[in-house]
Amino acid sequence: MLIKKIGAVSTALVVLAGASVPSYAAEQVNPASYATKAETKLKNNALKSEVESPIKLVNGSFEEPQIARSSQMFDASEVPGWKTTATDNTIELQRNYNDFWKMDAADGAQWAELNATMNSALYQDIETTPGTKIRWKVSHRGRDGVDTAEVRFGSPNQSLELMATMASGSEDWTEYQGTYTIPEGQTVTRFEFQAISTADGDLTRGNYLDNIVFSSPSNLVVTDSYDKASTPKGKQAKYNVNIANNGGMEAGDINLEIPLPATLKYVPSSVTINGTTTSDVTYNDATHTLSVHVNQIADGTTTTVGIGVEGLTETNAAHMSTSLKYHDLGFTDTTYTANSTGADIAVTSNTAPVIAADDTSVKKGGSFDPMAGVTASDAEDGNLTSSISVTANDVDTSVEGTYHVTYSVTDSDGNTTTKTITVTVSSNNAPVITAADKTLKKGASFDPMAGVSASDTEDGNVTDKVTVTANDVDTSAVGTYHVTYSVTDSDGNTTTKTITVTVTSNDAPVITASDKTLKKGGSFDPMVGVTASDVEDGNVTDKVAVTANDVDTSAVGTYHVTYSVTDSDGNTTTKTITVTVTSNDAPVIIASDQTIKNGKAFDVMAGVSASDLEDGDVTGGITVTANDVDTNTVGTYHVTYSVTDSDGNTTTKTITVTITSNDAPTFTTSDVYLKVGDKFNPYAGITASDTEDGDLTDRIDIESSDVDMTQPGTYAVEYSVTDSDNNTTKITRHVYVRTNDKPVIHASDQTFKAGASFDPMAGMSASDTEDGDITANVTITANDVDANQAGTYHVTYSVTDSDDNTTTKTITITVLTNEKPVITAADITQKAHRSVDPMAGVTASDLEDGDLTANIKIIANDINIDVPGEYHVTYSVLDSDGNETEKTITVTILSNEAPVIHGQDVTFKAGKAFDPMAGVTASDTEDGDITSAIEMTANDVNPDVAGVYHVTYSVTDSDGNTTEATYTVTVLTNEKPVIHATDQTLAYGQAFDPMAGVTAEDLEDGDLTGSIKIISNDVNPLQAGIYHVTYSVTDADGNETQITITVLVGAQPVDPVIPADPETPMHVTPAPVQMADPIVSSVSAPDPVRELPKTGDTDNTAQVITIGGLLAMLGALFLRRKK
């Protein structure tokens, strides 16, 4: 919503029960003249590259200081930029920590609560330039419903103008915004938010503020350039437009217009904004004009728009420039323009490339790279070295002679260049350096050239040409060093050689001791600060001996102490230090009497110094202990100095300062009050005189004058006059040029208690621009006040100035009943055995008497801090009118319980990892989660050996209560799983399910039946015989178990066989067979059977009998085995 100030300010006042709201005097203003000037100034500034410093408030989104949790109270001095009218100087900041508030900030992460502790205002006093147009906005939100606050601007310590009344609910942030023109003469502007009311009437909560802007407008400055000075025809260049925002706020909706000359062509899709390609571009082919849109540019930043162009026609200067239009972001009432100065680029012709290659020489047998050092460049294509080709090359480095190499390169326009160079192959051998590695003792001398020589096949002995190119040898330090030699023969062949020089150690020890200065009578320990070290032995301080010491601290003088130390190699070092014993003399102050002319400056420390025999210069320690000098009054004065040295000796000195007479001239004048159009004589009504020279009016000079009688305002004329003693006096005289304004009545609404006296003229005044104070002319035209009866009344005043302009004003008089005081006290919750201060945080206030906290009395208190329970404290307070208030609070004493350790017994298999802290926690009624405080006091667990173990834990809360808990840890053996399966007997042809009735289980894994595998199974239910099934199962630990069962398949039943002799029938009657339970309980004798046929067999009775008997025997054996 856009809020504009129109004409006079209207105010709304909401009064809550039991609370007073600050009132503001609404003042009639005429913003028209200011607005006109400000708008003209902003339009003129739109094209300026240098503008006044931006006007901007600080910390508008309350992001500083950062808070750790959901809310925090700060003293206003800790919140950058912001001040408060709250009597406790408190500002509250909030953030949605852990979604505590169920809402987010309007900007950033934090916001402020205007009603932190009371109805108050937040404000900033900002330096401003009169006539400047200011943009402002604020996000407002209620806390528990609709909260109300006002936005007010104006000069500090004066009545502020109401800019907006904000009434916002708690559902979302509401943004309020507008403009404000700084009035003439207002160099500091107060930007204030005043709390008016809250949704629930609680003045300590409500009116959230965030995302506040109070800023001068944006100001864009445009510069442009090309990325190169010239470009060939058909080639591209980049035209860059830099847009800098030097204003106070973000610019938005920026539209660039860029006309292209006929010598250049726009390259489509080449426009970038800060290096990123943008499609928000329009190109008009008819007008050759490019339009580019930029969303926004933040204040204090620069945006670069790049445009690709291509050369069309040769020219010395293809000129481009940019004009743009923009708004302040979020405000569309004013459109600004800005223009660049323009930039030129030359469009050149398309020339052939150039090959850079020089004749060269190569040693016989050396390598030759025909491309080494060869480059190619083109005015349009740039570096073409990679495009060079060798079109001819007859070089043979194994044979001395002269050869040639020919190069060729072609640019992108088809222009080809060739070049041929000469290559000379000559013979040459490099010289040889003779030098050997060396070993030296530490401290020995070293000549790097000793024993070094050089020779060359062609030049012979070249030792005198050998140079040392590197030498880091330090014979004073043990280590490994190197010396590098170099020699060059007459053919330029260079040989280098590096040798190693090893310096071995044999250092004497080193004593570290420094000279000392002592005060006479002070103590002296010769070993304090003395150390000794040796390269081989390290620290040998304990071997230091004092071999001489003549120090006498009772006598001033210079003494010596000699120390000695010997290392393990027998190297002895001695060192002598000087010990100076100084006297303890008092310091000396140097200061002289002074004579100064009346009115001249007097530097009390000029020419004053102090020194001390021991401390040296102690001038910096001088203090002035007495100084009655008045340079404006003739007389004799004194200054006393004091200084104390480091030994506590104090010296004082007093000098005399004589002030002689030398009065400056004086002016007699007064300010001038005129109306627009009057004539002004700056010399009228002003005189000057001097004690010595008399009347100096004719010597008055006008130093400066800005008086403009055509414009209302306050002007200044500065005068100066100089007497014969060259004393100059200056004075500024104000000239007030005024329009014929109406007078102003100053009177405020009043509130008092019934029965109090009421003077309608008390505190009321009237003033007029031309007449000044006209309070005496005020009359009361209406007054219905009854001071003895509570109610709302009115008094109307009227005043007329000398120009017959009349002003009236009506104020409201509220007569209150005599209300009781209010006690503020909250219930208390405390742990047992801790002290409770029943007066902590308890206050009392009265509408008439103010703060009555000191008058509170405790009339009942049954608290017992050693017994948990609920108690009560009753307070009483009496105001000056005899009204008494009582209030009772509840005090809850909590038990101070010991903490609780949460854990459980653990069972796991041997060989498994065991973490004794896994799953163990601790909590305390008062401290909450204290798991981190748990200590393990005993643990005999061996995870690799089966057994029962114990772990004991201990934890102590903040009250010193300690709890222990012991849990059992059972380590199991890692046993194999067990398969449950039994042998089976099947009738011939009976279906066979090998998994029927088969199960598996494991001590650790439980039921593993689903994991059983059949690894062999030869059962054939259609063939009588003994078969086997083998099962396998593996547990989670990889333990495998196998079991094999036997499956008996019975014989196939057959029809009876008729014997050869019918009179003697034959029967095969085996004994009854008892079958294993539960498969078959018993088997009766079978009927006579025929022979079991086999492939190829013939019908034979004897064979039938034999086979039947065999089967019977097998069955009996099987049953016995089962039993």
Taking only the tens place, the pLDDT of each residue in 898-955 is: 899 999 999 888 888 889 999 999 998 878 899 999 999 999 999 988 889 999 999 9
Write the CA distances from 704 to 129, 233, 708, 720, 732, integer angstroms. 22, 63, 13, 10, 9
Closest CA to 875 of 857, 892, 851: 857
Binning the chain into helix, strand and coil, the percentages to the nearest 5 are 5, 45, 50
Measured CA to CA, the distance from residue 582 to residue 1080 in angstroms comes to 125
Per-residue pLDDT at 467 exceeds 60: yes
648 has a pLDDT exceeding 90:
no
pLDDT at residue 180 greater than cutoff 70: yes
CB 476 within 8 Å of CB 443: yes
Alpha carbon distance, N-terminus to C-terminus of the chain: 102
Mean pLDDT in residue range 723-729: 88
Question: What pLDDT is recorded for position 1061?
Answer: 46
Q: Which of 595-604, 688-697, 1036-1045 has the lowest mean pLDDT?
A: 595-604
Inter-CA distances, 305 with 114, 135, 280, 996, Å? 43, 27, 12, 84
The DSSP code sequence of 897-963 is: PPPEEE---EEEETT----TTTT-EEEETTTEE-GGG-EEEEE---TTS-EEEEEEEEEE-TTS-EE
Q: At 417, is the secondary structure helix, strand, or coil?
A: strand
Model confidence at 889: pLDDT above 80: yes
Strands 289-297 vs 230-232: parallel, antiparallel or unpaired: unpaired
pLDDT at 776: 94
Q: Confidence class of residue 360 from pLDDT cuts 50, 70 and 90?
A: very high
Tokens encoding 959: 């009250």
Please choose, from the candidates 805, 672, 803, 802, the residue with its C-alpha nearest in 3D space to the C-alpha of residue 737: 672
Pairwise pLDDT comparison (81 vs 8), residue with the higher score: 81
pLDDT at 961: 87
Name the nearest CA neighbour of 718 among 727, 72, 709, 728.
Answer: 728
Bin 748: left if φ > 0, else alpha if -120 < ψ < 50, else beta.
beta
Instruction: Give me the phi and psi of 423, to 5 degrees please.
Output: -120, 120
pLDDT in tens, 9-22: 222 222 222 333 33
909 vs 606: which has the higher pLDDT = 606
For residue 1067, pLDDT over 60 is answered with: no
Q: How far apart are CA 217 and CA 690, in angstroms?
A: 53
Give the predicted TM-score (pTM) of the model. Answer: 0.35
Q: Is 623 exposed, middle or buried (0-12, 13-18, 19+ CB in 10 A)?
A: exposed
Mean confidence (pLDDT) of the chain: 85
Structural domains of the chain sorted by starting position, each given as residue range(s) with its CATH number in brackets: 32-215 (2.60.120.260), 227-241+254-324+332-348 (2.60.40.740), 354-426 (2.60.40.10), 432-504 (2.60.40.10), 510-582 (2.60.40.10), 588-660 (2.60.40.10), 666-738 (2.60.40.10), 744-816 (2.60.40.10), 822-890 (2.60.40.10), 900-972 (2.60.40.10), 1051-1123 (no CATH)
DSSP 56: B
pLDDT given at position 25: 29
- Percent of the chain at pLDDT above 70? 89
Q: What is the pLDDT of residues 200-240, one digit of tens each?
A: 889 899 999 999 998 889 999 999 999 999 888 888 999 99
**Spatial contact of 687 and 679, defined as CB atoms under 8 Å apart:** no
Nearest CA to 437 out of 473, 478, 487, 469 is that of 473
Residue 52: the pLDDT is 58
Q: What's the CA angle centered on 458, arms 457 and 463, to 5 degrees?
A: 75
Percent of the chain exceeding pLDDT 90 equals 61
**Per-residue pLDDT at 24:** 31
Which residues make beta-bridge pairs with 224? Answer: 241
User: Stretch 739-759: mean pLDDT, rounded?
Assistant: 87
**pLDDT at residue 973 above 90?**
no
Residue 348 CA to residue 357 CA, distance in Å, equals 26
Q: How high is the pLDDT of residue 1072?
A: 38
pLDDT of residue 1109: 52
pLDDT-derived band of residue 1090, with 50, 70 and 90 as boundaries? very low
pLDDT confidence of residue 972: 81
DSSP three-state, residue 586: coil
SS3 label, residue 1053: coil
Residue 629 to residue 657: CA distance in whole angstroms: 7
Q: CA-CA distance, 116 to 208, in Å (whole number)? A: 10
The pLDDT-based confidence of 365 (bands split at 50, 70, 90) is confident
Residue 3 has pLDDT above 60, yes or no: no
Q: Pull the structure tokens for residue 50.
A: 């240098």
Q: What one-character-per-residue DSSP string does 1090-1123 give? A: -----TT----HHHHHHHHHHHHHHHHHHHHHH-
Distance CA 217, CA 329 (A): 9
